[in-house]
Structure 1
């Protein structure tokens, strides 16, 4: 059902899953990587303190999101950015500070994603985003998103750092994975819900690889861009795209007229 449909707009509190959604999501995950590294590395606050800061922001934004009476684009995407930034620092804490490594961290986080989805389905009978319009569904939605963002970070670092692919190679692998999902969507009857959550997870390691490529030192395969500057540029791009999408949806609603 399109976002401009008055019934959906009045009930569902998350955006329609369109090409624009995925573009903003990939930019948001890239921002999550550069912003998370800015706090934990450039500011030398460490992964634990960085996780506490971003988790605090995430809890506040999720509470505001659940309390909202309708879909608010900037609030929604601010919450996504908070989840992906928290995911960056939490994944780094799990895989590095706890010493369980990328494989162990990825396995643990994948288990948590599956547990979150299973609990959501058992409680409400559906894990489709179209059902996210009441507090319990929203809470499950944001828990699943945060854990999937953390998993995606661990996967991105695993492929880039220990898989011998480098940041560009890792980004290419995850881009190919997303392209395969698009093909499955277009040519098969594979569950759209399964494809959505798989794509949601895969966009995170793609963003992680791109973010690391932008801000890591040249001798580590990166471009050594300023993390704060890269974060600002990404943030501005996201704001502009959200504003454009919002204006487009308003124009479509005016064209359709009242329900």
Structure 2
């Protein structure tokens, strides 16, 4: 999704609300969306794989992955600039944790998908409302304070949980199968892009709506590749699917780390081309 704006990056940080020299998240290029979808696919298949193979049960796996995520987020918050490896590792882990949160509510606690979808939607709306009231912006081009970064990652967590619950709800109620579900969510993302480009839908809201929708899109792709053919999948299995997508993510992250194609240098006025 594209839009244009002239902007100069912020000044060095000194405290919780003082701006850092660098934005802590990447520029939203085509690489961003590719890696995001790949991470959501990994989140779905890796959560299934760990639940099947780790022998810890759904709750044990959830605790383990939450602890790993907390450790990576500590590293992410301690960095003074966007680092592709740390950032995308956090996204991959938060994808797994978001999936596990939704699965725990559904499988362990028996919460209906309608209820969990509503709860996550309300929680995300509350995060956005508090974030905007405090910071007066929801733009990811201004994640340049500790406070804004905290709101950002909390919002990301709820987008993954919401996308998981809503995606499962749609898939179960409509019984479309994996690839048709993926096509449906892809069309929904395309509709958001059309609304943004032709109808003037706000760039920030366009981004966040698309961000939520990429979660069920990636999950549907992952399920289609990994699930047995008898269940409508290709039967690659969770191990092969997870390894394949992780390899692609790793390759793209290494490429971005070397080329810095998704980094805006501090103090430089830029003409943005993507949301």
Common fold, TM-score beyond 0.5? Answer: yes
Does residue 135 of structure 2 align to residue 124 of structure 1?
Answer: yes
Q: What is the aligned partner in structure 2 of residue 15 from structure 1?
A: 26
Partner of 1:217: 228
Taking a change above 3 Å as real, the CA distance of residues 63 and 215 of structure 1, as seen in their structure-2 partners, is: same
Counterpart of 2:250?
Answer: 239
Q: Is residue 148 from structure 1 mapped to residue 132 from structure 2 by the alignment? A: no
- The answer to whether the 8 Å contact 2:27/2:264 transfers is no
Q: Secondary structure at the match of 1:11?
A: coil
Question: Which residue matches 1:111?
Answer: 122
The answer (yes or no) to whether the contact 2:21–2:144 under 8 Å persists in 1 is no
1:95 aligns to 2:106 (yes or no): yes
Tell which deviates more after alignment, 44-53 or 165-174.
Answer: 44-53
Unaligned runs of 5+ in 2: 11-19, 271-275
Contact 1:132 1:141 in 2 (8 A): yes
**Which of 61-70 and 218-227 deviates more?**
218-227
Is 1:48 equivalent to 2:59 in the alignment?
Answer: yes
Which stretch shifts more, 139-148 or 40-49?
40-49
In 1, Cα distance between equivalents of 2:212 and 2:263: 30
Which residue among 28, 34, 39 is the counterpart of 1:28?
39
Q: How many angstroms apart in 2 are the aligned matches of 1:128 and 1:6?
A: 14
- The Cα of 1:251 is off from its aligned counterpart by 11
What's the offset of the Cα at 1:244?
Answer: 2.2
Cα distance between partner residues in 1 of 2:264 and 2:32:
18
Q: What is the CA–CA distance in structure 2 between the aligned matches of 1:112 and 1:88, rounded to whole Å?
A: 16
C-alpha change, 1:125 and 1:7, in structure 2 (3 Å) is closer
Residue of structure 2 equivalent to 1:181: 192
Is the deviation greater in 170-179 or in 8-17? 8-17
Which of 160, 163, 175 is equivalent to 2:171? 160
Could you tell me which runs of 5 or more consecutive residues in structure 1 were left unpaired when the two chains were aligned.
none
TM-score (norm 1): 0.90
**Structure 1 residues 234-253: Cα deviation after superposition (integer angstroms, max 9, x where no partner):** 11100111222333336998
Distance between the aligned counterparts of 1:122 and 1:253, measured in 2?
27
Cα distance in 1 between the residues matched to 2:54 and 2:226: 14
Higher helix share: 1
Cα deviation 1:192-242 (Å, max 9, x = unaligned): 111111011000010111111122222222222221221111111001112
Q: Distance in 1 between matches of 2:246 and 2:222?
A: 13
Task: Give the 3-state SS of the residue equivalent to 2:63 in structure 1.
Answer: helix
Structure 2 residue aligned with 1:227: 238
Residue 202 (str. 1) matches residue 213 (str. 2):
yes
Contact kept in structure 1, 2:45 and 2:222, CA below 8 Å:
yes
Higher relative contact order (CA 8 A, sep 6+): 2
8 Å CA contact retained: 2:29, 2:262:
no
C-alpha separation in 2, matches of 1:132 and 1:253: 13
Is the contact made by 2:28 and 2:262 (CA closer than 8 Å) also made in structure 1? no
Q: How many pairs were matched up?
A: 254
